[in-house]
Amino acid sequence: MFNWVLIDEIIVNALKEDISNIDITTDNLIDNKSISKACMITKENGVIAGLAVAKRVFEMIDGEIKVIFNVKDGDEVTKGVNIAEIKGSTKAILKGERIALNILQRMSGIASISKKYSEIVKDYPVRIVDTRKTTPGLRILEKYAVRVGGCHNHRYNLSESVMIKDNHIRAVGGIKKAVAKIKDRTSHTVKIEVEVESVNKLKEAIEAGADIVMLDNMNIDEMTKAVKVAEGRVLLEASGGLNIGNIVDVAKTGVDIISVGALTHSAKAMDISLNIF
């Protein structure tokens, strides 16, 4: 599911940020031999994501701690559900609480909004995808949460695939020149996506040999026309200002992909608490 080398690095950095020396409260109040039980309780409805990562936080603090889940990633839960039970060192529970919750709440919030987007277009042959508008350092977690919610991932980073955007085009001197140059310098296995802002530029991108064309900030009429012009020769991605209120209209145009930055950059963290009992 995860590259745990990368996940462990995220957790270590988070713990170093949260405990620069000692936990001045816990280490002075709690005996080393103290054992406690705790549970994680949802305080609102949503979709759970990130349980294994939250568990890993506690395990990295104390390898003897036990975490048992009552739900799994992707489950839709209501307010008041006991989603996990934790038993072990009281100190470890208290020291890991905030980092585990921060990660779990963030990922569950993204999964929850992704679920709403995926459900609203489920009757259309279109994919909702995320963008690179993620929290620095947390992209692997956030893109996983998008998938848990039923949406899909766009490219993971700048090294993964080609996307020739407006600034690239201006810098090189046109779509045709940009596509030709990138084809000459990359493998035949690499897909090439080109961003355009008009139907005429779409035609130019198709003629240049693009595999995917991003329709940037086009209105519904322009997208509809673009689909007719493309005639299935390239994949069409709608992008720019798309949200829960307008994606159904966009899906109806016949585009193949709708990219929504809000899946990650505007997701509200799901409210989850941890209580020792």
Catalytic positions, written as ranges: 133
Residue 40 phi/psi, 5-degree rounding, is: -105, 125
Task: Answer for the pair 108, 52: CB distance below 8 angstroms, yes or no.
Answer: no
Task: Answer yes or no: is 98 a known binding residue.
Answer: yes
Task: Answer yes or no: is 195 a known binding residue.
Answer: yes
Task: Answer yes or no: is 72 a known binding residue.
Answer: no
* Selection from 137, 159, 113, 123 nearest residue 268 by Cα: 113
Task: Answer yes or no: is 241 a known binding residue.
Answer: yes
> Could you tell me how many residues make up the chain?
277
Task: Answer yes or no: is 97 a known binding residue.
Answer: no
Task: Answer yes or no: is 150 a known binding residue.
Answer: no
Helix, strand, or coil (residue 255): coil
Task: Answer yes or no: is 261 a known binding residue.
Answer: yes
How far apart are the C-alpha atoms of 268 and 110, rounded to whole Å? Answer: 7
How far apart are the C-alpha atoms of 175 and 163, rounded to whole Å? Answer: 12
**For 21-97, where are the E strands, in sequence order?**
35-42, 46-47, 66-69, 76-77, 82-89
For residue 214, CA distances in Å to 53, 86, 119, 201, 269 come to 34, 46, 23, 11, 29
Task: Answer yes or no: is 240 a known binding residue.
Answer: yes
Task: Answer yes or no: is 233 a known binding residue.
Answer: no
Task: Answer yes or no: is 130 a known binding residue.
Answer: no
Q: Which residues are annotated as a binding site for substrate?
A: 98, 131-133, 155, 165, 195, 216, 239-241, 260-262
Per the annotation, binding residues are: 98, 131-133, 155, 165, 195, 216, 239-241, 260-262
